[in-house]
Amino acid sequence: MVRAATQLHPPRKPVAPRSAATLMWLRDTASGPEVLLTRRSPSASFLPGVFVFPGGRVDDADAAVADLAGTAAAALPHLPAAMAALRESFEELGVLHAHDADGRPLTAQDLATLERREPLYPQLRTRGLRLTADALRVAVRWTTDRDVQPRRFDTLFLIGRMPEAQTPVADDSEQFEPVWLRATDALAHHEAGTLPMIFPTLRTLRWLAGFASVDAALAACASNRPHWESCPRGALVGGKPQRYMESDLPFGELELVCPDGQLLHALDWQSERPVQLLRHLWRFTAPNPGVMTGPGTNAYILGSAETGFVVIDPGPPDDAHVTRLLEFTGGKVQTIVCTHSHPDHSPAARPLAQACEAAAGHRPPILGLPSEATARAHSEFTPDRVLADGERVVLDAPEHRVTLRAVHTPGHAANHVCLVLEEDGLLFSGDHVLNGSTTVIDPPDGNMAAYIDSLDRLLRECAQQDIRFILPAHGHVIGSAPQAIAWLKAHRLAREAKVLAAMRQRPDGDPEDWVPIAYADTPRQLWPVAKRSLIAHVERIEALGLARP
């Protein structure tokens, strides 16, 4: 676990969310399904003026009227939310999905006798009507961002087919301007600036846009389990707030830097200055973006001006980047560690060490593993000292002690090393685990069997050291470390199954023949790179004897 003392921002307990429900009314049209949106009152205390799906808080009464839902709905775990969504839809829009005791749908005459400004449930009992709660399906679940004050909601998003012969009419108090739109059109209006919506509405509409009919959307939700459950986190991009779900690449970084949801962290990629992640940790991204490097190679700096610094993966031989590392550390670098010898990771080590010696009178040692004979010419590397498996590199700082333990992880490269920051449960993964892509395993220096074995070792490290965050050499910090590594292993084995299937489909073929089959889901322009990893999979398949029929 990350030490509280190393966090950048003071702790702030988020407001407890209230239970709520919202309802996506759908109807079929010749051009596809449409969804009902309404504009909230400009004077509303929560989300004024934005377009939303109708809904509101789940009240105590919503959980106490199961008899008004009928036998079929009584056992639904989401029944209080469904009742609240139907009640709110009636109060806000005059739309009511209900039936009589014999199951006959609500008539226009019945609807006309109900008063929207009076409590609904007593009116239903008087008239012998029940809400058709079992016609609604659970779609997704959103919890309001942790940074929102003073109100937050834990909201179940439901979907249902619009009752026939009913027309939504806004109450002009809470809701205004009901409008039917296809999900794609609603998103287009938002992009044009004519339909203000919040992040959960937008992301839900993107999901809804994938259905060709109301029946298809309802069928996708037949299990009544949310397709996702998300409490987004906010960040600044270009100085403006953006929101991210748990499945989005920056989410783990926001969880690390702003655990209580503070909207303070900037996600813009740049190489001119370091990005502080913790009080004793910075990321300095080299100016070498590309297909293989993403936004660039991340150099990580640990320590302080008082005790000195450890630099991990100083990067490519870029003079400006080395100068920036030198200026930030003031030359007070105690140790330089290279996770492996590839040309975007280790070449800056010697220039940085020499610059530190000139500036501060001390030449930091360069630690790592020497390249093997299998390494390509551009990846030859000899450290000042070999970093033994399990060896610790220590900065004995009085405030934030730093202990980095080496974990040998061959696979991506024969001399690959990961580092565990023991005090904070952080894993510096080099290229073994990346954010947003899988690493290339390029034989002969790369070895797929060793790579998968190293993933297993990292899983054990996560369990033993309570590691929750991974700091990769490319991309943002990764959260949920054990799950991320387990997913990566499963993905590799699934790809290996495709390679094996391609080999059996074309037993007389070669990697050129197998790549289009095994990597059919990968853009064609990436096949030359994919071929390297395919060859590594073939080596493992043959070593395990799996290729034999």
Instruction: Summarize pLDDT for 313-350 with one digit per residue, the tens.
Output: 999 999 999 999 999 999 999 999 999 999 999 999 99
Handedness of CA 532, 537, 538, 540 (dihedral sign): positive
CA-to-CA distance for 489 and 467, rounded, in angstroms?
A: 17
Query: Does residue 197 form part of some domain?
Result: yes
Q: Considering the domain boundaries, does residue 251 fall inside one?
A: yes
Alpha helices in 338-480 (DSSP H): 349-360, 448-465
Total tally of structural domains belonging to the chain: 3
Structural domain including 256 reads 232-268
**Boundary (domain end) residue, out of 205, 230, 255:** 230
- The answer as to whether 397 is a domain residue is yes
- Indicate the pTM of the whole model: 0.92
List of the chain residues with pLDDT < 50? none
Residues 435 and 479 in one domain: yes
Give the Cα-Cα-Cα angle 236, 242, 246 (nearest 5 degrees): 110
Same domain? For 346 and 463 the reply is yes
Query: Does residue 540 belong to any structural domain of this protein?
Result: no
Question: Which CATH number characterizes residue 177's domain?
Answer: 3.90.79.10
CA distance 377 to 249: 33
| 10 assigned to some structural domain | no
* Residues 299, 246 share a domain: no
Burial of 144 (0-12, 13-18, 19+ CB in 10 A): buried
Whole-angstrom CA distances from 497 to 11, 198, 438, 537 are: 46, 41, 16, 9
pLDDT (0 to 100) of residue 46: 72
Whether residues 74 and 180 fall in one domain: yes
The H-or-E segment that residue 534 falls in is helix 527-543
Q: In the listed set 441, 472, 492, which residue is the last one of a domain according to the structure?
A: 492
Count Cβ atoms below 10 Å from residue 96 Cβ, excluding itself. 22
Together in a domain, 46 and 146: yes
Cis check: omega of the bond before 14, within 30 degrees of 0: no
Supply the pLDDT for residue 88.
Answer: 94
Residues 220 and 241 in one domain: no
Nearby residues of 488 by Cβ (< 8 Å), 6 or more positions away: 433, 438, 455
Whether residue 259 is found in the same domain as residue 200: no
Q: What's residue 173's pLDDT?
A: 79
Contact 156, 138 (CB under 8 A): yes
pLDDT in the model for residue 45:
67
Q: Report the distance separating Cα 282 and Cα 302, nearest Å.
A: 7
Same domain assignment for residues 277 and 419? yes
Same domain, yes or no, for 208 and 349?
no
Q: What is the pLDDT of residue 163?
A: 94
What is the C-alpha separation between 534 and 502, in angstroms, rounded?
A: 10
State whether 257 and 342 are in the same domain.
no
548 located within any domain: no
546, part of any domain: no
In this structure, is residue 320 part of a structural domain? yes
pLDDT at position 438 is 92
Q: Do residues 311 and 345 share a domain?
A: yes
Regarding whether 212 and 102 lie in a shared domain, the answer is yes
